[in-house]
Structure 1
Amino acid sequence: MILPGNGVRIVVATRPVDFRKGPDGLAAVVQEQLGFDPHSGLIVVFRSKRGDRAKILVWDGTGLVLIYKRLEQGGFTWPTVRDGVMRVSKAQFEALFEGLDWRRVTPPRGRRPAAAE
């Protein structure tokens, strides 16, 4: 798996997409339907209708990278189907990619260092 850096925005497209689309078709969905620049380094996770497959689209600075994953058993845990996107943390993205329940991963909260208190 390609691991995102800490400062990268990761979003999940909550509505299933046509999985026949390739990188250019998904980039058009990102731009026209979701309102993001697909060439900004943003990571976009797409779901299939059945929920057992995921496509991940990212611009790596030299081209579009498309990652496809199908779970052999079960399905991914997806957010409720609706229009738009949902932002997830790096840890939640990694759990989703592994087929785990990403909702159980809580993003770390910034805490003031003890010396500052």
Structure 2
Amino acid sequence: MILTHSVKVCLATQPCDLRKSFDTLSVVVRNELREDPLSRKVFVFLNRQGDRVKMLYWDGSGLWILMKRLERGRFFRPRPTADGEVKLALKPEALEMLLSGIDLKDGMQRAWYELPEK
């Protein structure tokens, strides 16, 4: 799967049980995010602890699930801009930053991602 800069990204603002798979994540996308899971958007979910992320994506022929578990540290969970907001639209660059350990609010890299000096 190749994510280009034209891909739309939808981040769920509430923690998600990441034991869910294709069908149950699709139900979350439909019922909670009010989106179509086959819309070619990348749907991003974080668990309550913030140490795991799971993404659901339809490429036109099937659904992809990508998951990452951090061995140390946490992903920064962006806060909704309004009460009751269940999703945030992110640019693909912002998703890359989030997955790289960058706090989107402050633009700071988290300690778990810092590379050792040579």
Length-normalised TM-score, structure 2: 0.80
For structure 2, which runs of at least 5 residues remain unmatched after alignment? 109-118
Residue in structure 1 matched with residue 103 of structure 2 by the alignment? 101
Larger radius of gyration: 1
Q: How does 1:1-117 map to 2 (within 5 A)?
A: 2-80=1-79, 83-103=85-105, 104=107
For structure 1, which runs of at least 5 residues remain unmatched after alignment? 106-117
Aligned residues: 104
Q: Deviations over 1:64-110 (max 9, x none)?
A: 100010111110001127541011111110011122223329xxxxx
Q: How far apart are the structure 2 equivalents of 1:6 and 1:74?
A: 27
Q: How far apart are the structure 1 equivalents of 2:13 and 2:40?
A: 19
Q: How far apart are the structure 1 equivalents of 2:34 and 2:41?
A: 12
Report % sequence identity.
37
Runs of 4+ in 1 over 6 A off after TM superposition: none
Length-normalised TM-score, structure 1: 0.81
Letter in 1 for 2:22: P
